[in-house]
Amino acid sequence: MLQDMDAYWMPFTANRQFKKAPRLLAKAAGMHFWTPEGREILDGVAGLWCVNAGHARPKIVKAIAEQAAEMDYAPPFQMGHPKAFALAEQLVKLTPPGMNKVFFTNSGSESVDTALKMAIAYHRVRGEGARTRLIGRERGYHGVNFGGISVGGMVANRKMFGTLLAGVDHIRHTHDLARNAFSVGQPAHGAELADDLERLVALHDASTIAAVIVEPVAGSTGVLIPPVGYLQRLREICDRHGILLIFDEVITGFGRTGNPFGAQTFGVTPDIMTVAKGITNGAVPMGAVLVKQEIHDAFMQGPEHLIEFFHGYTYSAHPLACAAALGTLETYADEGLLTRASQLQGYFADALHSLKGLPHVIDIRNLGLVGGIELQPFAGQPTKRAFDVFLDCWEQGVMIRTTGDTIALSPPLIIEKPHIDRLVDTIAAAIKRAA
Ligand code: PXG
Ligand code: PLP
């Protein structure tokens, strides 16, 4: 029976195209999905950058099932439950030194809006209430809520939605095909692009700027790896001017770049980190904001019976999400997954860069277990060539993701070398056909 697909308005989907030729998933385990007909699909993108330990991992499944039976829900305001505290303690063991406080949300978008509100409120509780301006970066992706699209820099996600938040500005993106095409790992050129923040400080004055938010590796826009020295320079400029630095680690968190967080891979500690996705291995929606001790402490003043931060979600620290996250962190620890990308990245890089020279491949980018393959668009039809490759790979039993004309890869961190070979071989054949 053909399922009725009319009622569901699908997110970030070409709805009409999809409903004419649906791609349905019915089952998942390890490195694979299966369609309802039982066709096996290799997962080249960890679902949507989130299933870092692979699918249907026993400790996570068990934790969720047991928690659902024991306590389905507990209100998070003026109440707590043991797993929320246990999870926060576990998370701060993974963060850079000093990032000791955890605020729970349900998604990356909520984490971003929470972090932006925290930054503005932090300056206010310290008596610098004029610091309200937020700085993002061109081509940034910070989710889809109004705060996130305001600091974000992907035009399609912004242009339909009016005037967005006031008082936001953007530094330049770091993509530079002319100087950096086919760099293996971090590109050599572009640290000086961080100085664009000095331009905005000169324009607005530092006393009006609350925070700068960037992804350590820009994922959604097509995998842009930060140039050597760039993030260090951004950190220095923020320090010079009393501006908070927020790393949006929704994709780079939980092992994607070879360390628990991108902050550790790049050796730069932000003031606030936003995470989601891999925190529960994608199994239950959850996000978190990880914060330096002194930011949290600045709020802890006034009468003790008063709420210090007027913010939170009905489902903050949801028991099922906390259980899933604890099962996830245990799985990551058991199998060394948070550093596994650093061992596999050489093989992954070689495989990806073997695609250099194929028709229409104009750049290949990689770091840890993230890869980007940028294609020359068909004249007058942006995004179509990459979408053709995506559809071709799906037919061949491989799931990839495309954004603009870039193929983005972010396989589960349990991937083995033969899977990498199959992934890259399938993409190579599809690129040759997308002529
Ligand atoms: N920040 C970053 C850096 C992200 O990558 C979000 C925030 C938002 O998270 P939620 O959980 O609200 O979706 C993300 C999410 C893509 C793609 O095409 C990437 C994301 C979401 C949807 C599509 O690469 N990342
Ligand atoms: N809208 C209404 C009318 C609500 O009562 C609430 C929460 O109580 C919300 C939105 C926010 O929902 P959530 O806390 O799940 O983000």
**Pocket mutation for ligand 1, best pick of 111, 114, 220 (most atoms within 8 Å of C-beta):** 220
Contact (CB, 8 A) for 208 and 132 = yes
The overall average pLDDT reported for the chain is: 98
Residue listed under structure tokens 């930011």 = 295
CA–CA separation, 70 and 34 (whole Å): 31
Is the pLDDT assigned to residue 40 strictly greater than 80? yes
Give this prediction's pTM. 0.97
Q: Is 312 in the pocket of ligand 2 (CB under 6 A)?
A: no
- Protein residue with its CA nearest to atom 6 in ligand 2: 314
Is the pLDDT assigned to residue 106 strictly greater than 60? yes
Instruction: Kindly state the tokens that stand for 85.
Output: 């505290």
Q: Given this model, what pLDDT does residue 2 score?
A: 61
- Protein residue with its CA nearest to atom 2 in ligand 2: 314
SS (H, E, C) 68-127: HHHCCCCCCCCCCCHHHHHHHHHHHHHCCCCEEEEEEECCHHHHHHHHHHHHHHHHHHCC
User: Which atom in ligand 2 lies closest to the alpha carbon of residue 315?
Assistant: 15
Percentage with pLDDT > 70 across the chain = 100
Is the pLDDT assigned to residue 309 strictly greater than 90? yes
Residue listed under structure tokens 């559809």 = 391
User: Which atom in ligand 2 lies closest to the alpha carbon of residue 316?
Assistant: 14
CA–CA separation, 307 and 309 (whole Å): 6
Q: Measure 107 CA to ligand 2 centroid, in angstroms.
A: 15
- Protein residue with its CA nearest to atom 10 in ligand 1: 108
Q: Residue 12's CB: how many other CB atoms inside 10 A?
A: 10
Q: Average pLDDT in the 144-171 region? A: 97
Residue 381 banded pLDDT, cuts 50, 70, 90: very high
Ligand nearest to the CA of 106: 1
Report the candidate in 189, 169, 163, 164 with the shortest Cα–Cα distance to residue 178.
189
Q: Is 315 in the pocket of ligand 2 (CB under 6 A)?
A: yes
Ligand nearest to the CA of 110: 1
Residue listed under structure tokens 């030194």 = 97
Is the pLDDT assigned to residue 1 strictly greater than 80? no
Q: Average pLDDT in the 329-342 region? A: 98
Q: Given this model, what pLDDT does residue 426 score?
A: 98
Q: Is 105 in the pocket of ligand 1 (CB under 6 A)?
A: no
Q: Measure 413 CA to ligand 1 centroid, in angstroms.
A: 18
Q: Measure 203 CA to ligand 1 centroid, in angstroms.
A: 30
- Protein residue with its CA nearest to atom 14 in ligand 1: 143
Ligand nearest to the CA of 213: 1
Is the pLDDT assigned to residue 66 strictly greater than 70? yes
Q: Is 314 in the pocket of ligand 2 (CB under 6 A)?
A: yes
- Protein residue with its CA nearest to atom 24 in ligand 1: 220
- Protein residue with its CA nearest to atom 7 in ligand 2: 314
User: Which atom in ligand 2 lies closest to the alpha carbon of residue 313?
Assistant: 14
Q: Measure 47 CA to ligand 1 centroid, in angstroms.
A: 12
Residue 435 banded pLDDT, cuts 50, 70, 90: confident
Is the pLDDT assigned to residue 201 strictly greater than 70? yes
Q: Is 313 in the pocket of ligand 2 (CB under 6 A)?
A: yes
